[in-house]
Amino acid sequence: MKHYQQSKRKITYAVSAVVGVILMVAITVAVAATVYVYVSGMFGGIKDHTASVACITDSGTSRISITSASANLKWRDIVVLADNSSVSWRVYDSSHTPIDVSNSTSGATAEISAGDYIELDFNAHPGMSGNVKVSLRFSPTNTLLGSWTITV
């Protein structure tokens, strides 16, 4: 008989209401903090997107021509580096108009577009010729966009 009475008793285990409320509030605060950090950009993320430029070289005209470029990319954000200090270069738009003075893009306000080109020459040293490696660097992120070797 004793066994029968014990089995009729219901044994329930539960967490008190106060502990339950505290746990729910703690979980809500943790989720809210995580969402806030994610949305506000506190993780850093990428603020400046790296640009891209595609070029082809033409040794016959001593030109590096732009075939495609990221949208809204300006020449003033590009640093042109030639590995030979004897060579001079100048950037032209697709209508053959110079966009800035020789060996500079810092004053250029034009956007880069397909058909623009960089023309290289050894005018300062007539009769000189050879291979020149030209690199383009995107200055806001200090990223190398590419390097091309051309015979001038």
pLDDT tens column, 5-47:
555 666 667 778 888 899 999 999 999 998 888 888 766 655 5
CA distance 70 to 60: 27
Tell me which residue of 112, 50, 115 sits closest to 75, measured CA to CA.
112
- DSSP letter at 76 equals G
Domain extents in the chain: 2-40, 53-151
Q: Characterise 56 by phi-psi region: left (phi > 0), alpha (psi -120 to 50), beta (else).
A: beta
Over the stretch 72-127, which tens digit does the pLDDT of each residue have? 999 999 999 999 888 889 999 999 999 999 888 888 889 999 999 999 987 766 66
